[in-house]
């Protein structure tokens, strides 16, 4: 079917997530509005199939959806398949073709006698084979027997074949089965019964989901640090905790490790109590006792009902002046690793503080968030430099860090087109500047749901959710 599809007429089909689409045939646009994505697809295929019927042959269609671009073939009877562009062999590939594929040199061949000429009808009945075609085999390497005397060949045929150990064999298929596409044109077509492979973008997302869904032996601690306030530390803690908890199902806690009063409790859901890290430390002996039950931790943390993680708040007593010590960080961390597999720690702005330095001691993966503003970026650089200068575990964390660059939120909604472009360019410039110094850099687009109020993963725009998934996958790769 594909070989008969020509580039004429020029057909482009657009599928949008808001229930609209567009089919353009040789410059004539047909807008489509329907109740859902499936209805848009049906209307689009009806238009394209009608064109194929009029031409009496399959047509090639360029598709565009939020997942990217592709090519499909639509036949007059409504069948759909994915087009596979045939790329001509490069000069290098031609030069490396096996010797058997090279044309044979002309040699003098004696003229056949009449008796040796095969009957024409017999030639039609015999199956045609290429002179250099390889034999078809199943489960064994292809070997070509050398020409030998009949007696020797007979002797070889009587020798038993070497047996393979059953321990070295298996009937199980080791490669995972590729599930059909679920998004965009490919996903919509798959739901209609046309099996379509996922796009590269969907495959990349599936790999990120697989990465954040893993369970690791032993607990893991993530520290989110930047010595400058307003660098997006708290939103980063919430987003990483939400994604890791949602996909992995592992018990996850976000811990506000500020020196005194932090903002993590203000940006997340409050439970039915006012307890904080100080109350957990005071009850640590009971929580660590052999008879303690897992549910008892709920008296000290605040569960996020939609995003499936817990929050351990910092002390919010305005009349108190207690600052968490290094010893108290050790106690709280010991308790949390008893009840949780993943700990994501928010932090204050003082790298010299005892609780900040003790947090680094317990950290497995360092995350440095930064908004695309020069002073935040400079503070992030100095934070990494400070850790690197300390050597040992701290320096290794700095080299293996993940930097998360978020577009500036300053007056974003009122920005003109040129200002928006400058903001994106600045975020890109900062991301590129950090790339040589750390393990991974991930960029996050602006999203109003992250600016004020409680942070919820479901409130984010799809592009923002995808970016945070990539960030969480980058973090998980460091576990």
Buried b or exposed e, range 129-153, using 16+ CB within 10 angstroms: eeeeeeeeeeeeeeeeeeeeeeeee
Per-residue model confidence (pLDDT) at position 85: 56
Residues in the chain: 479
Supply the DSSP string of 300-324, one letter for each residue.
Answer: TSEE-TTT--EEEPPP--TT-----
Residues 233, 314: contact at Cβ < 8 Å? no
What distance in Å separates the CA atoms of residue 217 and residue 256, rounded to the nearest whole number?
A: 24
Per-residue model confidence (pLDDT) at position 173: 65
Helix, strand, or coil (residue 203): helix
For domain 209-476, the CATH class is alpha beta
Per-residue model confidence (pLDDT) at position 178: 86
Per-residue model confidence (pLDDT) at position 143: 37
Cα dihedral 440→441→442→443 (10° resolution): -170
Series of mean pLDDT values for 10-residue runs along the chain (479 residues): 68 87 93 86 91 92 89 91 62 44 38 38 40 34 43 53 75 77 87 88 96 95 94 96 97 92 92 95 97 97 97 82 91 98 95 95 98 93 96 97 86 63 90 97 94 94 96 97
Q: How far is CA 128 from CA 121, 125, 137, 255, in A?
A: 13, 9, 18, 73
Q: Which residue has the tokens 């036949």?
A: 75
Per-residue model confidence (pLDDT) at position 5: 62
Per-residue model confidence (pLDDT) at position 2: 47
Per-residue model confidence (pLDDT) at position 123: 38
Residues 311, 301: contact at Cβ < 8 Å? yes
The dihedrals phi and psi of 181, each to the nearest 5 degrees, come to: -65, 150
What distance in Å separates the CA atoms of residue 437 and residue 434, rounded to the nearest whole number?
A: 6
Per-residue model confidence (pLDDT) at position 157: 52
């Amino acid at each position: 079917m594909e070989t008969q599809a020509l580039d004429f007429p020029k057909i482009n089909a657009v599928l949008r997530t808001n229930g609209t689409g567009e089919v353009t045939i040789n410059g004539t646009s047909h807008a489509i509005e329907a109740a859902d994505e499936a209805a848009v697809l049906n209307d689009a295929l009806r238009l394209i199939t009608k064109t194929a019927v009029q031409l009496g042959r399959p047509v090639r269609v360029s598709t565009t959806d939020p997942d990217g671009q592709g090519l499909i073939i639509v036949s007059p009877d409504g069948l759909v398949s994915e087009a596979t562009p045939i790329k001509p062999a490069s000069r290098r590939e031609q030069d490396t073709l096996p010797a058997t594929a090279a044309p044979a040199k002309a040699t003098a061949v004696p003229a056949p006698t009449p008796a040796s000429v095969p009957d024409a009808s017999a030639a039609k009945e015999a199956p045609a084979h290429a002179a250099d075609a390889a034999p078809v085999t199943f489960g064994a390497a292809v070997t070509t027997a050398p020409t030998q005397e009949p007696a020797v060949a007979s002797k070889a045929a009587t020798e038993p074949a070497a047996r393979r150990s059953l321990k070295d064999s298996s009937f199980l298929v080791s490669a995972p089965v590729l599930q059909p596409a679920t998004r965009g044109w490919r996903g919509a077509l798959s739901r209609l019964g046309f099996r379509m492979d996922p796009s590269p973008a969907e495959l990349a997302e599936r790999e990120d989901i697989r990465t954040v869904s893993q369970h690791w032996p032993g607990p893991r601690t993530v520290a989110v640090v930047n010595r400058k306030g307003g660098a997006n530390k708290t939103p980063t803690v919430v987003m990483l905790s939400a994604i890791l908890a949602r996909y992995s199902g592992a018990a996850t806690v976000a811990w506000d490790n500020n020196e005194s009063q932090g903002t993590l409790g203000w940006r997340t859901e409050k439970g039915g109590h006012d307890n904080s890290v100080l109350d957990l430390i005071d009850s640590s002996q009971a929580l660590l006792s052999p008879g303690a039950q897992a549910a008892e931790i709920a008296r000290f943390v605040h569960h996020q009902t939609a995003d499936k993680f817990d929050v351990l708040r910092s002390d919010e007593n305005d009349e108190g002046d207690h600052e968490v010590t290094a010893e108290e960080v050790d106690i709280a961390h010991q308790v949390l690793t008893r009840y949780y597999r993943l700990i994501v720690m928010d932090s204050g702005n003082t790298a010299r503080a005892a609780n900040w330095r003790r947090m680094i001691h317990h950290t497995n993966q360092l995350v440095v968030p930064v908004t695309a503003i020069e002073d935040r970026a400079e503070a992030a650089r100095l934070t990494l430099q400070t850790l690197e200068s300390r050597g040992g575990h701290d320096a290794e964390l700095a080299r293996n860090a993940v930097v998360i660059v978020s577009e500036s939120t300053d007056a974003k909604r009122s920005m003109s087109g040129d200002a928006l472009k400058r903001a994106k360019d600045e975020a890109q410039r900062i991301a590129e500047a950090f790339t040589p110094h750390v393990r991974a850099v991930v960029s996050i687009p602006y999203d109003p749901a992250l600016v004020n109020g409680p942070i919820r993963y479901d409130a984010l725009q799809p592009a923002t959710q995808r970016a945070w998934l990539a960030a969480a996958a980058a973090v998980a790769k460091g576990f």
